[in-house]
Amino acid sequence: MCDMADRPHHELRNETPLERADRNFAELLQEVRVTQAGVQILFAFLLTLAFTQRFPDIDAFQRTTYVVTLLLSMLAAVLFTAPAALHRSLFQQNAKPVIVQVSSRLASAGLAVLMLAFTGSVLLVVDVTLGRAAGIAAGAGTMAACVLLWGVLPRLVRRTSVRTDQPVTEGPTETPGGRGRKSSED
């Protein structure tokens, strides 16, 4: 007899592969919506910087940081909007599983580029206001925070989680050994 914890959770959901693809795509789009708002605000902020009174006074390092960061934020915006364009292009072509797979990779790439854009933005602003050393330290701190929270933390949670047969709607519970159960997420 197979223990429910040994079965893939999509089997526990009793959903078809197409239903699973639909659910995964809906969840992915929701994640992208949340992230995309931040990207758009950052991009707008960076666009306006070039028209401020202090902009002509920035040095070559700051100008390069600005241009690279502006381009990174634009690339992040493109990566986060690409799943919608991909879906629109392949609409009603029975390609939902492929759309989900490619869109997930695009979103992951978007997060990596967004991390670099955040790092550059903080580096630039702190460099202009407090100096180069402080800017580099703040940029490095920003990158470290993104790596830890967006990369390391999810891997730790995945590694320490255990699947159980408890309903998805319940909160985390303790299992023998003090380890929480695995989330219902894919």
| Residue-level pLDDT, tens digit, the chain, 186 residues | 455 455 555 566 788 888 888 888 888 888 888 888 889 999 999 999 999 999 999 999 999 999 999 999 999 999 999 998 998 888 888 778 898 899 999 999 999 999 999 999 999 999 999 999 999 999 999 999 999 999 999 999 989 886 554 555 544 444 444 444 444 444
Which of 103, 93, 89, 96 lies closest to 16, judged by CA?
Answer: 96
- Give the number of other Cβ atoms within 10 Å of residue 22's Cβ: 15
Residue 118 contacts residue 42 (beta carbons within 8 Å)? yes
Check residue 14 and give left, alpha or beta (phi > 0: left; psi -120 to 50: alpha): left
Give the pLDDT score at 95. Answer: 79
pLDDT at position 94 is: 78
Residue 32: per-residue pLDDT:
84
Residue listed under structure tokens 């197409």 = 18
Residue partners of 165: CB distance under 8 A and separation at least 6: 3, 4, 5, 12
pLDDT at 163: 59
